[in-house]
A and B are shown apart, each in its own frame.
Chain A
């Protein structure tokens, strides 16, 4: 049992956990996110889109790693697009990058504790928080194994553990299901549903069925712009037998993309 601080029970003054208006972000010289409008509240949001749609660049901008070159971006009511202090927003942020680097000599526990320290958690709570995060991703048996000895799926889960160690209010997971076996993917979906009850989770993925199963909302982007935002049920109802795909959600996804491309061509 842990004491609840006044900061945690304070009423929120921001309508959206993540709010972007006309957001523009460069990836190198290419304008990968080009005028994106997006509002995300509490829940699990699945970010879908074809390769090169700007998913990873958007994730990096929301993670405050990349600086937007235009538009507005607020996280939990804090502007993170200008010269403002990023620390309050960063303390409430969890981020799993697409290709996450790590220190191979660290054990899982050391790695997660080190990230907790970087996230400026109170020192006394770091050991406990690291253990809880490792338990939640099912790595307890490997907690004292060195990172270089872990398989791809275990590394991915260690990455998720470091992302959730500070109980973030905004959690960004870029391709969390890569390298996970089917059983682990089911566990991850369970974890996502659990986290989504009080957190804004943005999950970028290529797997439409993951989105349909675990997300409360689907966000489809293409060429740096928002194409569609709605529930997985609404996505499934968009497709019919004439569209490519093996499930209702997949058919809805291809129907949306085809419609969008047809509109763009006109």
Chain B
């Protein structure tokens, strides 16, 4: 930082005094660029002539801005749209299945709650669609970009969860089983991502859905009893499983940079 020019120098600079030599003008200009205080002093010493010029320029700039093309709308909307458009059919399908399950449970009160049995699987079709070679047409383009990776997958998964969880929460609050409705669903989402880092998210989602249907849903429908896993006592275990699976997924973040998980 140079020493501040004197007020009289600034006055002479503002007035365009021909007596001021070029070297002094340059040093004042360099100083003004970096010193707000001196710029304020300069504003106080401007002549009527230069104020009129500045006002004229301001009017001209405003006129050009008004006449020019409107500023382009932001591109932020595109990113959300691609997700919503691609995922909406899957989420809509899930919601339909859940509503049907709720209706069936209502008609057959002696059976265990179908919604509770299917809730853990609710986000999986959407998660599979979010990161799938078959369902994302631009997979080959995306797989070669620096954004491809766990952060992108998590962003897409968050969109799916944001669409699915309100539906589940609606059913859960109605039956007073909010935690049992949501925790298994989060645990299964984390498990899909973790397993997906090994065999691909699409395959992981299908595998987990088949396994849960065969091991838990089918037997409990056959015996007409809710499994131990979905009793209120199991809530703590589901919470621990969710946190552990999520942590393990983060440890395997590097695996998601390549095509193999698609």
Contacts and interface: CB of A to CB of B under 8 A. Distances in A.
B84 to A, nearest CB: 11
Interface in B91-146: 136-146
B88 to A, nearest CB: 12
Interface residues of A, number: 33
A65 to B, nearest CB: 5
A96 to B, nearest CB: 9
A115 interface: yes
B141 A115 contact: yes
Among B145, B258, B259, residue most surrounded by chain A Cβ atoms (within 10 Å): B145
B75 interface: yes
6 contacts: A65-B140, A100-B138, A103-B85, A115-B141, A117-B75, A119-B145
A249 B75 CA distance: 46
A137 to B, nearest CB: 16
Given A118-B142, A119-B146, A83 B75 contact: no
A91 B78 contact: no
Given A103-B85, A119-B145, 10 more contacts: A60-B140, A65-B140, A67-B260, A90-B146, A99-B140, A101-B137, A102-B137, A103-B86, A110-B78, A115-B141
A67 B259 CA distance: 8
Given A106-B78, A110-B75, A127-B72, A100 B144 contact: no
Contacts of B147: 117-120
Contact of B145 (A100, A113, A118): A118
Nearest to A92: B146
Contacts of B142: 118
A114 B79 contact: yes
B82 A114 contact: yes
Given A91-B146, A106-B78, A114-B78, A83 B141 contact: no
A120 B144 CA distance: 12
Nearest to B72: A127
B75 to A, nearest CB: 5
A29 to B, nearest CB: 14
A90 B75 contact: no
Among B139, B257, B260, residue most surrounded by chain A Cβ atoms (within 10 Å): B257
A122 to B, nearest CB: 12
Interface in A156-191: 162
Interface string A115-129: 101111001001100
A97 interface: yes
